[in-house]
Amino acid sequence: MKNAMLLSVVIPAYNEEGNITATIDGIRAVLRREGVPYELVLVNDNSADATGAVLDALAEADPGVVVVHREPPRGFGRAVRAGLERASGDVIVICMADLSDDPEDIIKYYRKIEEGYDCVFGSRFMRGSRCVNYPKLKLFVNRLVNKMMQIMFWTRFNDLTNSFKAYRSYVIRDIMPLKACHFNITIELSLNTLIRGYAIAMVPISWQGRTWGSSNLHLTEMGRRYLSTLLRAWFEKNLILDDLMAESMAHRTRLAEKAAGLEGRVASLERRLAAVEARVGD
């Protein structure tokens, strides 16, 4: 596929030896079927089982797989940050390692980005979505927290706590440095993108609760971290948004100038090539 954007799929993994191979096989099959150039950035977050060895075997068998072995302390947010720093694609998708996210939705995200959007937020709670085996208590807390964020940020997006989203790489570079160390990185990514005014599409997705292993998200431990991240984003939006937007616009301007310069060099090379071909033809 000519000039297709490189897709980086960042997958943090902690004690996922029973899920990770099937996760990678499913994603890889869909991307190959669709002809999407990819790199899979697999982050071993100090696993205590054989996850690291499984990831290394996957990388050995496929040059499109990159493995990052993290040093302690572990944490979902730290693993995501490590994967984002390593990712080299034009489009970056963050995906879970536990088979909960549908690989077909990765393609849906990619096609939306191709339409011109900067980001794609999947929602498990809109018409056309599918959500199976979500624990009832976590579901209740999820809907409560998301409704609160919708009100605080006056937004239509209703699944901001979901990590499974897509971003153009320049969006990720713009909102860095990220600070969250645990699952609060999900709302840090969402809200940092949202308040900067990027073009965001929302699409229905399919989600299924894990069938092997146990979730690493513990509500009692995450409350204070989610609150800290939420309040920081709210205060930034209401107190220093002008500063954030000034830096964001400068970032976008630099990217545009770089792209224009590259296009100019390509055009120059094409003219030179055409001239050489003309001389050869004579």
- 270 domain residue, yes or no: no
Residue 38 has φ and ψ, to the nearest 5°, of -140, 160
Is beta strand 91-94 parallel, antiparallel or unpaired with respect to 65-69?
Answer: unpaired
Please say whether the beta carbons of 55 and 67 come within 8 A: yes
Q: What is the mean pLDDT of residues 151-158?
A: 97
pLDDT in tens, 74-101: 999 999 999 999 999 999 999 999 999 9
Please report whether residue 274 resides in a domain: no
Rg (CA), the chain: 20
> 259-270: per-residue pLDDT in tens?
888 777 767 667
CA atoms within 13 A on the CB side of 159: 24
Confidence of residue 1 (pLDDT cuts 50, 70, 90): very low
* pLDDT computed for residue 94 by the predictor: 98
Residue 209: the pLDDT is 87
CATH number at residue 197: 3.90.550.10
* 189-198 tens-digit pLDDT: 999 999 999 9
Inter-CA distances, 228 with 79, 187, 233, 268, Å: 19, 11, 9, 51
In a domain, 1, yes or no: no
Alpha helices by DSSP H, the chain: 20-34, 51-61, 76-86, 103-114, 136-153, 169-175, 185-195, 219-239, 241-281
Q: Residue 63: its pLDDT value, please?
A: 96
Q: What does the pLDDT read at residue 181?
A: 96
SS3 of residue 82 by DSSP: helix
Contact of 122 with 159, CB cutoff 8 Å: yes
User: Tell me: the pLDDT tens digits for 35-71?
Assistant: 999 999 999 999 999 999 999 999 999 999 999 999 9
Q: Which residue range forms the structural domain that includes residue 75?
A: 7-239
Domain count, the chain: 1
Cα torsion at 77, 83, 86, 89 (round to 10°)?
-120
Instruction: Find the mean pLDDT for residues 4-22.
Output: 97
Give the predicted TM-score (pTM) of the model: 0.88
Taking the C-alpha atoms of residue 84 and residue 120, their distance in angstroms, rounded to an integer, is 16
Q: In this structure, what token pair is assigned to residue 232?
A: 């920081």
